[in-house]
Structure 1
Amino acid sequence: MSADQVTGARMAGPTPEIGRYRWTICALLFAATAINYIDRQMIGVLKPVLQKDLGWSEGQYADVVFWFQAAYAIGFLAAGRLVDAVGARIGYAVAFTLWTLAHVAHGLVGSVTQFAAARFALGLGESGNFPSGLKAVTDWFPQRERALAVGLFNAGANVGAIATPLIVPAITLAYGWRMAFIATGALSIVWLIAWISLYRRPEEQPRLSTAELALIRSDPVTPAGRLPWLRLFAVRETWAYAIPKFLTDPIWWMFLFWLPDFLGKRYGLDLKSFGPPLVVIYLLSDGGSVLGGWLSSRLIQRGWSANAARKATMLGCAIAVLPIVTVQHVDQLWLAVLLIGLATAAHQAFSANLLTLPSDLFPRAGVASVVGIGGTAGAIGGMLIAKFVGYVLDVSGSYTPIFAVAASAYLLALAALHLISPRLAPATLPRSETVA
């Protein structure tokens, strides 16, 4: 039976109350993103231990981060295409399996080169997280709920970042850093079983009520024909998403991979003591992710256009990041923590709205591909900032230029978005073409 026939059969009976199964899907995406960030952030938390055990310099650490970002950039393009071709269920399962195996492999390496190779494989796998997640959100949520759903599942990044400094140091101190990688990877398998068991497309999910399916499919459908994937690079709306990702994703990578190092060098914290500050920072980030998604969704529900709601929220976020430029010169630890937390919360709120744009601007069939292109742009930016941070720290040891770059990135990104897509109008695709 076709999807249309399934929908018609469901709509023929009495109309039940709207269910909430779509939020179960959001919870699965949240959990996967939390695991994703535990796996990627462990290198930042363990940086002092790894540098001592493997003899890394700042430049070599930057190189390890660089190769992760390079794989992430390559993988994002392939992941977007894969997810659009096979769907979120299979695409997410493949990506999750690959990055979990690569994560466990970190505990088996014996040199910087081998560690970088494991990190490269991790980047290839983790690149599937957001194309799969955003594809699932597009399939399971109407436009007016998508920013909130994205904000909620993106908050998993902060939960992962909170859990890492609480769990990983304890395992490392008791059993060593190798066991920290192996143990956290083994526990991740539970999510894969849940995903395969619970996820289906809405039309194929028997637990979904008729009314909830009608809500999910309540947006008008824009008909289109076939558009080869390469043609996406010639569409302005692709760059309205990709350029802001190039400018802002590197800032989050910088926080993720160098924040423990900054707290250690500036305030004398170590593996036993930087947990509470990091927890506070990422708790604030969690609040920002949910608030940013909620705010623009709320404004749309109150009659604002998607253009006005998304950009007004993003402007507030860009302004909130600006005080981060002063943090290198703040002597009080907890004041610095609040300034950093404000910046990371603003990033996550900005990101929740930015990640929603592909589903606003493109047909469902092309969302993951556009997300992949934007993710590649963001990962290339991450490669550049890894080299930049490593160079600055090797030469000067100061984070001041690094935080100056962070402070300016979001206003530049919003300006680029507005110049490329002043009205956030859906992409104009030729009538005879669609994404394929």
Structure 2
Amino acid sequence: MSQIEIKDPAASGMQQVTEKVSKYRWRILAMLFVATTINYVDRSIIGVLGPTLQNHVFHWTNTEYSNINFSFMIAYALGMLLMGGLVDRLGTKFGYAISIGIWSVFSLAHALVTKSMGWIGFAVARFGLGIGESGNFPSCIKTVAEWFPKKERAFATGIFNAGTNIGAILAPLIVPLVVMNDGTNWQFAFCVTFVFSAVWLVIWLTTYKKPEVHPKVSKAELDYILSDTVVENNQRLPWKRVFGLKETWAFAIAKTTDAVWWFYLFWGGFFLHAQFGLELKGLALPMMTIYLISDIGSIVGGWLSSKFIKMGWTINKSRKTTLLLCAILIMPVAFATQTDNQWVAVLLIGLAAGGHQAWSANIFTIVSDVFPKKATASVVGIGGMVGALASAGANLSLGRVLDSSGKSGYFFAFLIAGCLYLVALLAIHLIMPKMRARDENLRYVETN
């Protein structure tokens, strides 16, 4: 607990009242971080284990592996649209619970796939996983909007978003402990997170309430949370009402960069295997390095734009300046295929992945900067759908290019990965030059 000094206008002279300020919002953020970490362990296992399953167990072609990922991404796209609206309709408590329940069950389902089912069995399990996991980010962004003032939201988003990297770090650390290089015991890799998901779900359902009614939130903390926003009414705002707004599509364009992130996540291990001959246990340290750098990028990117705001910059200038720095930081990844040194390639990919996570923390925060809290999950869902569709198309194309052209296909993938962010930022600025906020009725908020 921290303390603030509040002057009592009814008291004589300069008498001051000291009131304790709770920090319960940070406990809520810790729960979002843990859930996002579990989410990304589940999501990343296929990227770590993929080369082993392809070469020693199922003998997939690159096209068949891309079909498996395509199934996940299409489900994720559909789920983003559905889950975003569901979370806004049911609220974060029950919407998030449904999401994590679905993804936990389908994560376990991977272990039931047999050789006779082939890639189709994995595609079905990945489809269910995609539906469930699609609810994570709409739920998290909505929760941050409910629990944090605007000046802290980018930093808070950067912290929970860092769970994506922790999950991606844990996956290559855990998988080699239970799976052999020849694929023995591969089923165990898909069972490790189920218990943690179940425990998290029980804690969430028994403890979560909105800050306005939470018994552990002091009045001073609630006042701080609402210090740069307003209390909204409880009238529902259908996602269809935000679908045609230009700000929704500015965010959607920003989310097309998800195709780059999923390229690292699902094909990074395959690239390192093809370029440098790394097997399962040899992939662990390089992939952990990439996502450790990503973790730093997520937190620093969120901190930086929040720092700019505290320095007196406008939200528009703070967010876009940070996005520009991210885009510049990412560009050198275009040269990842031009080196014979695996650690140079790893560091270039890590730098770009860190830039992406800093970018991601800020574009997610832009949603809560511009839209009322009741619409954030829906907007995140629409943008996430576009990002997932872009990722699905890119993934499907890459698998076919690699089967026809060999590893030279990675050159074009990394070239696009290095340039896409600057193009997206230009489009965002042209569509939304001033980043004007909208109220609970989606009217522009008047500014002085």
TM-score (normalised: structure 2): 0.90
Q: 1:245 aligns with which of 249, 255, 271?
A: 255
Q: 2:367 aligns with which of 353, 358, 365?
A: 358
Aligned partner letter, 2:129: L
For the residue of structure 1 that corresponds to 2:253, the secondary structure is helix
Deviation at 1:194, TM superposition (A): 2.1
Aligned to 1:77: 81
Separation in structure 2 between the aligned mates of residue 415 and residue 191 of structure 1, nearest angstrom: 40
Instruction: For 1:8-407, list aligned pairs within 5 A.
Output: 16-51=19-54, 52-110=56-114, 111=117, 112-173=119-180, 176-221=185-230, 228-246=238-256, 248-397=257-406, 398=408, 399-407=410-418
On the 8 A contact 1:159/1:283 being kept in 2, the answer is yes
On the 8 A contact 2:99/2:135 being kept in 1, the answer is yes
Aligned to 1:5: none
1:245–1:346 Cα change, 3 Å: same
Q: Which runs of 5+ in 1 are unaligned?
A: 1-13
Aligned to 2:13: none
Separation in structure 2 between the aligned mates of residue 263 and residue 431 of structure 1, nearest angstrom: 47
Aligned partner letter, 2:105: L
Q: Which moved more, 1:172-181 or 1:145-154?
A: 172-181
Aligned partner letter, 2:244: A
For the residue of structure 2 that corresponds to 1:16, the secondary structure is strand
For the residue of structure 2 that corresponds to 1:273, the secondary structure is helix
On the 8 A contact 1:130/1:371 being kept in 2, the answer is yes
Separation in structure 2 between the aligned mates of residue 83 and residue 223 of structure 1, nearest angstrom: 16
For these two proteins, the number of residue pairs brought into alignment is 419
Deviation at 1:69, TM superposition (A): 0.3
Separation in structure 1 between the aligned mates of residue 290 and residue 238 of structure 2, nearest angstrom: 43
Aligned partner letter, 1:120: F
Aligned partner letter, 1:357: I
Aligned partner letter, 1:265: A
On the 8 A contact 1:37/1:161 being kept in 2, the answer is yes
Separation in structure 2 between the aligned mates of residue 345 and residue 432 of structure 1, nearest angstrom: 35
Aligned to 2:5: none
Q: Which moved more, 1:385-394 or 1:301-310?
A: 385-394
Separation in structure 1 between the aligned mates of residue 437 and residue 231 of structure 2, nearest angstrom: 9
Deviation at 1:49, TM superposition (A): 2.1
TM-score (normalised: structure 1): 0.93
1:19–1:347 Cα change, 3 Å: same
Separation in structure 2 between the aligned mates of residue 329 and residue 421 of structure 1, nearest angstrom: 37
On the 8 A contact 2:22/2:216 being kept in 1, the answer is no
On the 8 A contact 1:15/1:211 being kept in 2, the answer is no
Deviation at 1:15, TM superposition (A): 6.1
Separation in structure 2 between the aligned mates of residue 428 and residue 284 of structure 1, nearest angstrom: 37
Residue deviations 1:105-148 (CA, integer Å, cap 9, x gap): 00001222111101000000000000000010000000000000
Separation in structure 1 between the aligned mates of residue 231 and residue 97 of structure 2, nearest angstrom: 29
Deviation at 1:18, TM superposition (A): 2.3
Deviation at 1:221, TM superposition (A): 2.4
Aligned to 1:408: 419
1:38–1:228 Cα change, 3 Å: closer
Aligned partner letter, 2:207: L
Q: Which runs of 5+ in 2 are unaligned?
A: 1-16
1:199–1:428 Cα change, 3 Å: closer
For the residue of structure 1 that corresponds to 2:434, the secondary structure is coil
On the 8 A contact 1:284/1:342 being kept in 2, the answer is yes
What's the % identity of the aligned pairs? 49
1:78–1:15 Cα change, 3 Å: farther
Aligned partner letter, 2:434: R
1:358–1:107 Cα change, 3 Å: same
Deviation at 1:223, TM superposition (A): 6.9
Q: Which moved more, 1:65-74 or 1:229-238?
A: 229-238
On the 8 A contact 1:43/1:257 being kept in 2, the answer is yes
Residue deviations 1:45-64 (CA, integer Å, cap 9, x gap): 11122213122100000000
Q: 2:436 aligns with which of 421, 425, 431?
A: 425
Deviation at 1:432, TM superposition (A): 8.8
Q: Which moved more, 1:76-85 or 1:190-199?
A: 190-199
On the 8 A contact 1:15/1:210 being kept in 2, the answer is no
1:141–1:429 Cα change, 3 Å: closer
Deviation at 1:427, TM superposition (A): 3.6
Residue deviations 1:278-301 (CA, integer Å, cap 9, x gap): 111111000000000000001001
Separation in structure 2 between the aligned mates of residue 431 and residue 132 of structure 1, nearest angstrom: 20
Aligned partner letter, 1:158: N
